[in-house]
Amino acid sequence: MKVTVVSRSGREVIKGGIELHDEATVSDLQEAIHARTKKYYPSRQRLTLPMQAGIQGKPIVLSPKKKLVDYCDGNVKNLTVVFKDLGVQVLYRTLFFWEYLGPLVIYPIFYYFPVYKYFGYEGERVVYPVQTYAMYYWCLHYSKRIMETFFVHRFSHATSPLSNVFRNCAYYWTFGAYIAYYVNHPMYTPVNDLQMKIGFGFGLICQVSNFYCHILLRNLRNPNGNGGYQIPHGFLFNIVTCANYTTEIYQWLGFNIATQTIAGYVFLVVAALIMTNWALAKHRRLKKLFDGKEGRPRYPRRWVILPPFI
Amino acid sequence: MAGFLSTLRRIYLSLYNWTVFVGWFQVLYFAVKALREGGPTTVYDSVERPLQLAQTAAVMEILHGLVGLVRSPVSATLPQIGSRLFLTWGVLWSFPETRTHVLVSSLVISWSITEIIRYSFFGMKEALGFAPSWLLWLRYSTFLILYPTGITSEVGLIYIALPYIKASEKYCIRMPNKWNFSFDYFYASIVALAIYVPGSPHMYQYMLGQRKKALSKSKTA
């Protein structure tokens, strides 16, 4: 079959189109485009079916594993696809590694090294037990994240735009330094012992739960699968759609109860807002996909992310 | 019901825009009057009340954007209003030593001319359904001069205020405290100054783009 590749403005991206055998997959097409253009490796390509004039809605994105014929609407000899360049891509693994490495390295610097001298605080500082535990807790958290990035998570789309590296690193590294500055400060005021224990205890339970949630999510996805959606189930997923985000938010709450800094709470609120946005989108997507029609199961009534609020 | 609500919206926005227009008109009038009678050092005292009222009222515009009463994105209005409130309350009102500086005159004149044009433009659109093409031209052209003069005045005044900010310890929160929080107004002001470095070209570019869109659209309309 002949595939015509056009840009969103209608210009032909590959002059003369591409000839492929009839059983070819989208992935084969992507390889062929890469061969013809050199610059556009497959993960940088976003291929969609052309929008019909007058019909609203989002364009249909071509899925790499599917066959091209599945997207033909009758004419199996010709197909037109719309090409969009997603820009330079990095692996999600790479992105996550760098954004998590920052906090893991930066926080202990404030704990171990005499940085406060440069802020005008001379002399030895007294280190409270809570500050030591906080450093261990923090480093455990980000080590866990890095470990999960390489051994647990299964990514539906393997890459992310390069610009996200700068944006995400700025977010994590700045907040990491901001919180580390206050918790390790020479004039830090600790909370009472019981509050500290409750905070870290609750936080650790949530971190373990969060890890279990990630394992469950991983097992939902088939390793050589089509990356399709499943209704999450098991453990907390039976009551809340994004239980992984829930446990993450509560885990930070535990840290803040134990360390009590405004900086930590600001981070908690911002992170919770970001995750709530993601959770709402995911919940909506799942409800739309699992609508109970045509034999599909119906998505059950569940909290989105933070019972009892939302 | 929908028609009633949309009329209500129009009446409210007309009242809002024209009221704030009058506020800024007063600012310009008193500023020019003071310049001619007493010179630059007397300008602030003459404009203080209408300036504070008109500028603070602009906070309503954030609300308008949030509830969807107007189309402007909150992301564009927030930095603009932020810098205005910082100058009005955080610098001029808080540190009287800055009030007699000549940059105060250029500041309030730049701001008031811009806002008079802007509020009358929106006031007309809401009340009459259209705005005359000369007003459209003014709205999308005067910024070419007034942005540089206004921004220079803002940056200049913040810079002038720095020694007073540092010495006064005003708005500073020091440690130790039970929330383990600190805030240094002096360093925050320096950060504010730093934001002008990428922020000003960004805003200017944005307005240039808006100008292109608005003035070309009116040609074809």
In this structure, are residues A191 and A260 in contact, taking their beta carbons and an 8 Å threshold?
A: yes
**B147 given a catalytic annotation:** yes
pLDDT-derived band at A224 (thresholds 50, 70, 90) equals: low
A83, A94: one domain: no
A158, A207: one domain: yes
Give mean pLDDT, residues A255-278. 97
A305 falls within a domain:
no
Tokens of B4: 């009633």
- Residue-level pLDDT at A157: 79
| pTM score, whole prediction | 0.85
Number of domains in chain A: 2
A25, A163: one domain: no
Measured between alpha carbons, how far is A193 from A164 in angstroms, rounded to an integer? 40
Beta-carbon separation of A259 and B180 below 8 A: yes
Q: Which residues contact B14 (CB under 8 A, 6 or more apart)?
A: B123, B126, B127
CB atoms within 10 A of CB B188: 15
pLDDT digit string (tens) for B87-98? 999 999 999 999
pLDDT digit string (tens) for A47-105? 999 887 777 778 888 888 888 888 887 777 888 999 999 999 999 999 999 999 999 99
Beta-carbon separation of A189 and B181 below 8 A: no
pLDDT-derived band at A225 (thresholds 50, 70, 90) equals: low
A144, A283: one domain: yes
A236 falls within a domain:
yes
Tell me the chain B residues in contact with residue A187 when contact means C-beta distances shorter than 8 Å: 175-176
A272, A154: one domain: yes
Range of the domain at A46: 2-87
- Residue-level pLDDT at A9: 87
- Residue-level pLDDT at B101: 97
Beta-carbon separation of A189 and B180 below 8 A: yes
| Inter-helix orientation angle B59-67/B74-85, to 10° | 170
A294 falls within a domain:
no
A106, A72: one domain: no
A16 falls within a domain:
yes
| A296 vs A183, residue with greater confidence | A183
**B154 given a catalytic annotation:** yes
A175, A215: one domain: yes
pLDDT digit string (tens) for A156-179? 778 999 999 999 999 999 999 999
| A115 vs A310, residue with greater confidence | A115
A23 falls within a domain:
yes
